[in-house]
Structure formats: structure tokens, C-alpha cells
Amino acid sequence: MSSIPEFSEQDAKWMAKAIALAKKGRFSTTPNPCVGCVIVNDNNIVLGEGCHIKAGTEHAEVHALSQAGDHAASATAYVTLEPCAHFGKTPPCALALIDAGIKRVVIAALDINPLVAGKGVQMLRDAGIEVAQGLMATTAMELNLGFNTRMSTGRPYVVLKMAASLDGKTALQNGISQWITSPQARKDVQLERAKACAILSGSGTVLADNPKLNVRPDELPEYAASAFLCRERQPLRIIIDGKNQLHNNLRIVSDGQASLVYNLKENKTLKGDNVAQVSQTSSSSTHVDLAAMLDDLGQRQINLVWVEAGSKLAGALIENQLVDECVLYLAPKFLGGGARELLSTQVNENLEQAVAGQITSLTQVGSDIKIVCRLPKAVG
């Protein structure tokens, strides 16, 4: 039975710095994970640091090694994720650490990507490098929930955004809903969108609101805007349109940004090179198969899906246990009788049928409360 490595206060200090560096990639690394690296000598002097910015460009370890230069020999590297051991768009980072003469590597989390999955650690150890793993592993894993979910399940991490009044309503009976939440909450939604690989909605919402479903960099904090612009593309827009109601006058069709439509048969009236369709022609259902859609999105290397949908689609995702996390913005308002419900679901007969989650965050955003809740997922 292997013993847990002992880590010093200095180890914790430098790994915390590496994690802070990794967070810089939250808005730009998709479909790759966020990774940070710090290289330190025996006198606890930082020789180099870096983070992964964009898929296809240098990884965190390479940026840090480039700064350290020849001084990297006999130094310690602190990395938030196991260094890769395979040739992809860039050479293996494990090999770069070996060639630089690094003597010790401290890793927060192992990479569950089958192409790595311990191979990076083994490559380092085979080269005689001391490797210690597990320092701040949980924090490092949280940085890459989408990537890790796709690697372990084949599906993206699904975040359902909802906004409601204190009496659980989303709009007045006549449909008026702008704006229930505060300007600060709406800016926070932009920040959450910027982390996503894709933004999902239903045709009903698109027809009613004609939204762009994109990220507006001018509404992001400066640090997020500059990072998001490095990505050089908007999140993929995904629309579920089982009845082929979408038309060419909608923004998501005409603005030139990429959209992906899931339907039961091809909508031959939709035009535009930016719009792709996935038609589930073999489905015997009258509704788009949401689980099959997520499987397909996983194949397309989508790590995190941000959902902004109406009550029916939101309810279907919840009922089918396809949501990993809910983000609810709760406004200090009461919309009163006849107002529209947050979710449209089947009627439960007892409390045991209720979907129970775990609140992981509770913060005030403007005049609203932002609640983050993790939900159980369906097995299989």
C-alpha cells in the first residue's frame, strides 16, 4: 500500500500559485484542460511560470521552462495536472521536463485522459525524476470539471442557468420577463457563458426572444475579456428544434457565428454555412433524444454546456438527470398569481421522487442571490 507523499509549506505555496495561473485559462483553453506550472530552485526562487492559453499552443510547462532556461536543471516543477506523455499538436510535456533536467515534479491531479492516465508520471520516474502527486488535487480537479466529465463519461458537464423571483416565477402571465434580475446578475451570466464551450437553448426560447446566445466581451471584467478574446471564437450555439420551427430571420442563423441544431428530420429551409444540423432520423420519439445529443457533443469535444432554456426543456433535462449543476439567480421580487413557473415537470406523488442536490455556493450578485447546486447524474 503506497503512502501519501509529505508536502511542505513551500510546496503548498508554489502549488497555490500554479493553480492561480491555471485559472487564467478558464475562458480560452477549450477543449483542453486548464493547467498552471511554476518552476522553483532550491532557494525557493521562481525561475519560470506559465499557463496553458489555447489549444494547439504551448502547454504550461513549456512556458515555464522557456522562462527558466538553463536554470531549470535540478529545479522543482509544480504542475496542476499530470504532464502529457503523448504527441498531439505539441510534443509531450513530460519529455520537455526530462530534457530540461528537472529533478522533482509535484503534481496536483492525475490526468484521466486515456492518452495520459499515469503515463506522464511513469515517463518522469523512468527518467529518474522524483514525482509527488496529490497536493491540492481536489482544487485542481475542480478547475477542469468539464474536461474531466467528458473524459470519464463521454459527455460534457451540463450547467443549467435559471433566474426567478422569490416566489419561483420566471415571467408574468403575459410572458414579460425583462428584467427580473439585476444588471450585475446579467453581467455575471456573461462571465459564466465565457467559460462554456457551448450555449444550449430550445427553439421556443429562440423564437420568443431572438437572442444572440453569445458572449459580449465588453460586459466582462478586463481579465476575463482579454482571456476570452484569446480564444478567438464564440461558444458553439446549440438549439433543440424537434418541430423544425427555426427560420432564417433569426440571429442565430443570420449572424455568421456557428450554430448546431438538433432535430428529428432535416430542416431544408434553414440556410447559412454557419448552421449545422444533426437529425435523429432513427428516433421513434416525438422529442429529440437529449442523452444522445450529449453523447454527440462529447464526440465533438465539448467540455461544458451552459443551458439557458424555457421551463419545458429545463424540466426535461432535470427529470432525465442530465444536469450536473444548476445556477439560479434569485431576485428579491414577487411576480404573483398566474406567473410562469421555473420548471415544467411531471407531478410527483411523494418527496422521495424529488431531485435532491447539494448547494456548493451562495453569493450576492447585485440585489440578487446566486445559488450554485450540484445534482446527481443518471447511471449509464
The residues annotated as belonging to the active site are: 61
Cα separation of 217 and 214, whole Å?
9
Question: Running DSSP on this structure, what letter comes out for residue 5?
Answer: P
Q: If you search the block for the grid coordinates 440571429, which residue do you land on?
A: 251
Whole-angstrom CA distances from 295 to 146, 154, 180, 300 are: 14, 6, 34, 9
Residue 44 DSSP SS3:
coil
CB environment 148-173: b (16+ within 10 A), e (fewer)? bbbbeeebbbbbbbbbbbeebbbbee
Q: Which three cell numbers stand for residue 108?
A: 496536483
Whose CA is closest to 34, among 233, 195, 187, 161? 195
Closest CA to 184 of 209, 223, 227, 220: 220
Beta strands 36-40 and 76-81 are antiparallel
How far apart CA 300 and CA 281 sit, in angstroms, is 19
Nearest to 192 by CA among 162, 161, 237, 223: 161
Phi first, then psi, for residue 131 (nearest 5°) are: -125, 130
Question: Does 306 sit behind a cis peptide bond, omega within 30 degrees of 0 on the bond before it?
Answer: no
Question: Following DSSP, what letter does each residue of 135-162 receive, concatenated?
Answer: TTHHHHHHTTHHHHHHHHHSS-EEEEEE
